[in-house]
Amino acid sequence: MKKTIAIVGAGPAALMLAAELDASRYEVSIYERNQALGRKFLVAGDGGFNLTHSEVLESFVDRYTPANFVESSLRVFDNRALVDWLGRIGISTFVGTSGRVFPVVPTKPIEVLNAILTLLDAKGVKIFKQHTWKGWQGNALVFAAQEQEVLVQADLTVFALGGGSWAVTGSQGEWLTYFEEKNITTKALIPSNCAYGLDWPERLIDAIEGQALKNITLACAGIQKKGEVVLTRFGLEGGALYALSPQIRSELEQYGKATLTLDLKTALSLGEIQQRLQKNRGGKSWGLHVEQQLNLGAVAMALLRTLLNKEEFTQPSLLAQKIKAFPLMVVRFAPLDEAISTVGGIALEEVDDHFELKKMPNHYCIGEMLDWDAPTGGYLLQACFSMGYGLAKHLNGI
Ligand SMILES: Cc1cc2nc3c(=O)[nH]c(=O)nc-3n(C[C@H](O)[C@H](O)[C@H](O)COP(=O)(O)OP(=O)(O)OC[C@H]3O[C@@H](n4cnc5c(N)ncnc54)[C@H](O)[C@@H]3O)c2cc1C
């Protein structure tokens, strides 16, 4: 007799799990609220589709918060294993200059998804679309399915419900309450890998909106990231900023604000900047002298002119210090729905090393619905795939 497994949700974590479960031992059914599977996976594909990152495993593992939460799954199924796995289902990849791993051009995201779904079809995985999980009735899972209620009894249940952003893709986070009713600790879903809001002075906005600050270093709570940010009416966005999400989030939660410091001229030391500023400026205005000596762009100059006081802007040593550590105050997260990912969900202490709920044996949670975090750039999808794969290997072995 095969055991039955109900997988709730059809994102990358769920699909990898279903693809790797031993079909001779398990009868696998996926229940998904949408008519289409993997909608967030396809949204991820709309931008740069970073399936994983090529970084070596030792530092790869450190990208996660808390560090090492998915380590055992990553050690079972790392970025190379994912690339090989994709290759076996006909999806070739390449490593971009950033180290991120993409499907080769012109592979479309839907082709990657369809390659996985073809595998599930061949394995006889049953798929129930338009089934929205609503909690439990006794031991049965309750689904709302086109105006009728469906009760499902399974030997094992795996939840892979995603986070709480981009609700249009099906990630709505309403399931937190169903777990709370079972006395399982959950944490509110909070945006990560998102834009952060600042209170720009109105007079600055026209000069900066939509402009990028390139080759800068951003720092928050002692952690530094190199890269670029785009300035918007709302505040800031961009990869270097997203990578500081854990630090910004922690400060916002603790103090209601987070201090970012920007090194606007990474190529020059503080001393070199001071020297250049102290050079004779001939008949030039101070602003033009600063701009030309340091080759600062218009956006950096607008920030310096508008946000520094007169003394800070005109005294070479003070200005040099501000250029190397320009303070900006983050005061709010982007709306949850606009974030690339969310943190919060099922508290990590509620699951064991194999993602099984300690208070509900035979029930597992994988993917973004657990309270971990990682920067975008392939780390999110890799973790979801690794958890799905790792759980399949575990279940195949018991
Ligand atoms: C704009 C954007 C770009 C991104 N780009 C990247 C990228 O380039 N690289 C990267 O690594 N990551 C990226 N991500 C993040 C990545 O897509 C997610 O981390 C990943 O999809 C999470 O996988 P998951 O399987 O945990 O959940 P999801 O993919 O969210 O899937 C969860 C599924 O569960 C279903 N579901 C939820 N509740 C219920 C319910 N009650 N009943 C039934 N079904 C339910 C949902 O409909 C959904 O299909 C991006 C995300 C966004 C929004």
> Is 32 near ligand 1, meaning CB less than 6 Å away?
yes
Per 3-state DSSP, the chain is made up of helix, strand and coil in percentages (nearest 5) of 40, 25, 35
pLDDT at 39: 97
Give pLDDT tens digits for 292-308. Answer: 999 999 999 999 999 99
Report yes or no: 40 and 113 within 8 Å, Cβ to Cβ: no
> Is 14 near ligand 1, meaning CB less than 6 Å away?
yes
pLDDT at 67: 87
> Is 133 near ligand 1, meaning CB less than 6 Å away?
yes
- pLDDT tier for residue 230 given thresholds of 50, 70 and 90: very high
- Average pLDDT of span 179-195: 97
Q: How remote is the CA of residue 171 from the centroid of ligand 1, in Å?
A: 7
Select from 7, 30, 40 the residue to mutate for testing ligand 1; criterion: most ligand atoms less than 8 Å from CB. 40
> Is 34 near ligand 1, meaning CB less than 6 Å away?
yes
Helix axes 109-122, 39-46, angle to 10 degrees: 150
Residue 149 predicted with pLDDT over 90: yes
Select from 52, 169, 364, 380 the residue to mutate for testing ligand 1; criterion: most ligand atoms less than 8 Å from CB. 380
What is the three-class DSSP state of 14? helix
> Is 10 near ligand 1, meaning CB less than 6 Å away?
yes
- pLDDT tier for residue 47 given thresholds of 50, 70 and 90: confident
- What's the whole-model pTM score? 0.95
Return the ligand 1 atom nearest residue 9 CA: 34
Question: How far apart (Å, rounded) are the C-alpha atoms in residues 42 and 37?
Answer: 9
Residue 84 predicted with pLDDT over 90: yes
Report yes or no: 115 and 85 within 8 Å, Cβ to Cβ: no
Residue 371 predicted with pLDDT over 90: yes
Q: What domains are defined for the chain? A: 3-190+342-397 (3.50.50.60), 196-333 (no CATH)
Q: Kindly state the percentage of the chain with pLDDT values over 90.
A: 97
Q: Is 61 exposed, middle or buried (0-12, 13-18, 19+ CB in 10 A)?
A: middle
- Average pLDDT of span 167-185: 97
Question: How far apart (Å, rounded) are the C-alpha atoms in residues 190 and 186?
Answer: 12
- pLDDT tier for residue 146 given thresholds of 50, 70 and 90: confident
pLDDT at 48: 84
Question: How far apart (Å, rounded) are the C-alpha atoms in residues 87 and 119?
Answer: 13
Residue 68 predicted with pLDDT over 90: no
Residue 66 predicted with pLDDT over 90: yes
> Atom 53 (ligand 1): residue with closest C-alpha?
340
Report yes or no: 230 and 210 within 8 Å, Cβ to Cβ: yes
- The whole-chain average pLDDT of the chain stands at 97
Give pLDDT tens digits for 205-216. Answer: 999 999 999 999
What is the three-class DSSP state of 49? coil
Question: For residue 124, what are the contacts with CB-CB under 8 A and spacing of at least 6?
Answer: 23, 28
pLDDT at 60: 96
